[in-house]
Amino acid sequence: MLQVYLVRHGETEWNAARRIQGQSDSALTAKGELQARQVAQRARSLGITHVVTSDLGRTRRTAEIIADACGCPVILEPRLRELHMGVLEEREIDSLTAEEETWRKQMVDGTPDGRIPQGESMTELGARMHEALNSLLELPAGSVPLVVSHGIALGCLLGTIIGLPPYAERRLRLRNCSISRVDHQQSPWLAPGWIVESAGDVSHLDLPALDELQR
């Protein structure tokens, strides 16, 4: 059985400002750096052997802090990037027009073919996230990888593992530096392959963490 830990990056300046990031980037806040150090301390007890991260700056910084604590290398994996939010990237949520807010809501409300103009669909996101996850099966036996990615991307991955379509309504909250775990296994009482062991654990954080929309 392969156990894979999934971590959302630490809080960023744009998270705090309610600004849409997508595949654009902003630096971790002081709180985000603290969250990364706290999740790193938790990771030290998990026997992590590899830290695999989205190549965006906020995830790379979070991954570097975790990898340093665990004494293992950082592997960049572009397929772990956040959903591309097209023309809405870098916009403040409160500045969106009614039409633009409709585009944004299609990413979370179950619209099958939802797509922000010049952006990516949830189906495309789900496909590349599963490709990245399945590539971890090629790691040496006994590996315990930790993946650092993004809120919408990880939520899509977890939802599709339990059988939801990638565009399903979002009902799983993954706060900054939350930890989830998925296992690849064979069980007489579970479907073969990937299963969700846990999702969205923030018990290692001292202070409340934000979700994608600060709700």
Residue 13 among known ligand-binding residues: yes
Residue 79 among known ligand-binding residues: no
Residue 58 among known ligand-binding residues: yes
Residue 10 among known ligand-binding residues: yes
Q: Is 9 a catalytic residue?
A: yes
Residue 122 among known ligand-binding residues: no
Catalytic one of 9, 77, 120, 212:
9
Residue 134 among known ligand-binding residues: no
3-state SS string for the chain: CEEEEEEECCCEHHHHCCECCCCCCCCECHHHHHHHHHHHHHHHCCCCCEEEECCCHHHHHHHHHHHHHHCCCEEECHHHCCCCCHHHCCCEHHHCCHHHHHHHHCCCCCCCCCCCCCCCCHHHHHHHHHHHHHHHHHCCCCCCEEEEECHHHHHHHHHHHCCCCCCCCCCCCCCCCCEEEEEEEEECCEEEEEEEEEEEECCCCCCCCCCCCCC
Residue 91 among known ligand-binding residues: no
Q: Is 82 a catalytic residue?
A: yes
Catalytic one of 82, 89, 120, 212:
82
Residue 116 among known ligand-binding residues: no
Residues annotated as catalytic (active site), given as ranges: 9, 82
Binding site per annotation, positions for substrate: 8-15, 21-22, 58, 60, 82-85, 151-152
Residue ranges of the binding site: 8-15, 21-22, 58, 60, 82-85, 151-152
